[in-house]
């Protein structure tokens, strides 16, 4: 989440016009890098307003449909409010926006073993639902071809170490693409999952706007590469616990998982470098250095995660 749209008065007037809602207070939500998000306070409740900076109308509706597929199968997601015309998406200065229920709970900055165990089980539940929904799909907007094009736009501006690492990893990934695909969230980072006050239960998941057809191991790898990282280092114990709890519902090929861990590290390395170097989004990435993903990628290339004896007890 982030704030790019600045005119709060236009937001107030547009919401009143299309939803018949009077906003008492509106605050921007600073987290994130892509959409403009606001907490809007009404007389008796708070809601979330999202202005979509990059997505088109049809893409938004397909992402929302995926959100409701999960909700209808027991995964807590936000309710989308309809406008006076019965539509979930409205427009403000030609930009689409939606209003959602605010999910109760808090995000986790520093994870513990309990968090990753809950998330491992939660993600496996999501994947059980998605593999059984073969009649619905969303185009993946961040496949390897898109990632390569982003890299081409800034590779002249980086040092030889980064260039060599990225070029060789792209070549490796193109030879090892996993072909089986299902709908994936693709962005299950810590700021998109909410926990209750005692951190004992997950209260919901948000931000479905990177959803697309992908192999579910790539989706799981995104989770592992975020939830099990702290101070720029992989916490192997947390990673293996998360895998263990995921495996209670779904089997995992660890060799393929390592390929996917490498891919998602590469993807987020390139995406972050592209946003900072090309898009100049330095403010959106304060304290989020792209060197983190370089270091994580090196670790996965060495593949020391799954084959050291000292971690055998966590593998299940």
Angle between helices 113-130 and 57-71 (to 10 degrees): 110
As to burial, measured by CB atoms within 10 angstroms (0-12 exposed, 13-18 middle, 19+ buried), residue 115 is: buried
Given a contact cutoff of 8 angstroms between Cβ atoms, the answer to whether 115 and 227 are in contact is: yes
Coil, strand or helix: which one is 182? strand
Given a contact cutoff of 8 angstroms between Cβ atoms, the answer to whether 113 and 121 are in contact is: no
Per-residue pLDDT tens for 176-232? 999 999 999 999 999 999 999 877 899 999 999 999 999 999 999 999 999 998 877
As to burial, measured by CB atoms within 10 angstroms (0-12 exposed, 13-18 middle, 19+ buried), residue 33 is: middle
User: Pick from 131, 283, 296, 114: which is nearest to 195 by CA?
Assistant: 114
- Residue 40 to residue 48: CA distance in whole angstroms: 6
Which pTM does this prediction carry? 0.89
Task: Please name each of the domains of the chain with its CATH number.
Answer: 8-56+78-101 (3.30.200.20), 113-314 (3.90.1200.10)
Query: Average pLDDT, whole number, for the chain?
Result: 89
- Strand positions, DSSP E, the chain: 25-28, 36-41, 46-51, 90-92, 95-101, 182-184, 193-195, 202-205, 212-214, 229-230, 233-234
Coil, strand or helix: which one is 228? coil
User: Pick from 49, 315, 65: which is nearest to 209 by CA?
Assistant: 65
More confident residue, 132 or 245: 245
Tell me which DSSP letter residue 77 carries: B
Q: CB count, 10 Å around CB of 127?
A: 21
Per-residue pLDDT tens for 280-300? 765 655 556 788 899 999 989
Per-residue pLDDT tens for 235-288? 999 999 999 999 998 989 988 999 999 999 999 999 999 988 998 765 655 556
Per-residue pLDDT tens for 12-68? 999 999 999 999 999 988 776 678 999 999 999 999 999 998 899 999 999 999 999
- Residue 151 to residue 168: CA distance in whole angstroms: 12
| C-alpha torsion sign, points 223, 228, 233, 236 | negative
User: Pick from 256, 268, 259, 255: which is nearest to 295 by CA?
Assistant: 268
| Maximum C-alpha span of the chain | 63
- Residue 83 to residue 27: CA distance in whole angstroms: 21
């Amino acid at each position: 989440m982030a704030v790019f749209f600045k005119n709060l008065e236009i937001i107030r007037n547009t919401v009143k016009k299309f939803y018949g809602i009077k906003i008492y207070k509106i605050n921007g939500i600073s987290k994130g890098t892509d959409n403009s998000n606001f907490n809007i306070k009404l007389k008796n409740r708070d809601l979330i307003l999202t202005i979509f900076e990059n997505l088109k109308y049809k893409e938004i509706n397909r992402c929302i449909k995926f959100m409701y597929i999960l909700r209808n199968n027991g995964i807590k997601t936000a309710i989308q409010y309809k406008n006076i015309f019965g539509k979930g998406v409205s427009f403000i200065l030609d930009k689409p926006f939606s209003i959602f229920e605010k999910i109760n709970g808090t995000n986790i900055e520093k994870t513990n073993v309990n968090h990753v165990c809950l998330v491992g089980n939660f993600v496996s539940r999501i994947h059980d639902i998605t593999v059984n929904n073969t009649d619905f799909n969303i185009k993946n907007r961040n496949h390897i071809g898109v990632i390569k094009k982003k890299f081409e736009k800034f590779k002249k501006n980086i040092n030889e170490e980064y260039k060599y690492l990225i070029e060789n990893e792209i070549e490796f990934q193109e030879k090892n693409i996993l072909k089986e695909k299902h709908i994936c969230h693709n962005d299950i980072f810590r700021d998109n999952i909410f926990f209750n006050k005692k951190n004992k239960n997950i209260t919901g998941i948000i931000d479905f706007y990177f959803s697309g057809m992908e192999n579910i191991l790539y989706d799981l790898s995104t989770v592992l590469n975020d939830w099990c990282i702290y101070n720029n280092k992989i916490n192997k114990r947390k990673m293996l616990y998360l895998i263990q709890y995921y495996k209670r519902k779904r089997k995992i090929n660890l060799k393929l998982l390592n390929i996917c861990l490498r891919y998602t590290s590469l993807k987020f390395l390139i995406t972050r470098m592209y946003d900072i170097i090309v898009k100049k989004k330095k403010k959106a990435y304060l304290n989020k250095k792209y060197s983190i993903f370089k270091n994580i990628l090196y670790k996965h290339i060495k593949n020391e995660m799954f084959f050291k004896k000292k971690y055998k007890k966590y593998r299940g």
